[in-house]
């Protein structure tokens, strides 16, 4: 995930009404309740709708990034454990080979 996309997601989240939000249906209309606006359907909550509409792509992208970082973290921890178990001589050999 590049920094531009992450900044766009953050800007949408910052512009939206603070949560929690709740889905709500009134007759044939579907919307969401927020603690500040009630049933959000007015133009004043356009930022909330922008945030909600982008969630379908933003959330999977964020989940993928979290999974990538968790995997990287796991591998780095494994590598660190290998280094911790090395003797000073082995560390010297590893560093000289880099």
What tens digit of pLDDT does each residue of 50-69 get?
Answer: 888 888 899 999 999 999 99
The residue among 79 and 98 whose pLDDT is bigger is 79
Residue 18 has pLDDT above 50, yes or no: yes
- The lowest-confidence range among 21-30, 36-45, 79-88 is 36-45
> 75-87 burial string, b = 16+ CB within 10 Å, else e?
eeeeeeeeeeeee
Take residue 35 and report the two structure tokens written for it.
């603690």
C-beta of residue 48 within 8 angstroms of C-beta of residue 56: no
pTM: 0.64
Summarize pLDDT for 71-92 with one digit per residue, the tens: 999 999 999 999 899 999 988 8
CA atoms of 98 and 94, how far apart (whole Å): 7
The residues with which 39 forms a beta bridge, in sequence order, are 33
* Cβ neighbours for 30, distance < 8 A, ≥ 6 positions apart: 23, 24
């Amino acid at each position: 995930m590049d920094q531009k996309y992450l900044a766009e997601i953050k800007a949408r989240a910052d512009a939206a009404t603070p949560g929690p939000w709740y889905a709500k249906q009134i007759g044939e209309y579907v919307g969401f309740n927020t603690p500040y606006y009630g049933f959000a359907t007015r133009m004043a909550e356009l930022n909330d709708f922008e945030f909600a509409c982008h969630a379908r792509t933003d959330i999977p992208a964020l989940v993928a990034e979290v999974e990538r970082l968790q995997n990287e973290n796991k591998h780095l921890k494994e590598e660190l454990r290998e280094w911790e178990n090395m003797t000073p001589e082995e560390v010297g050999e590893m560093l000289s080979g880099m």
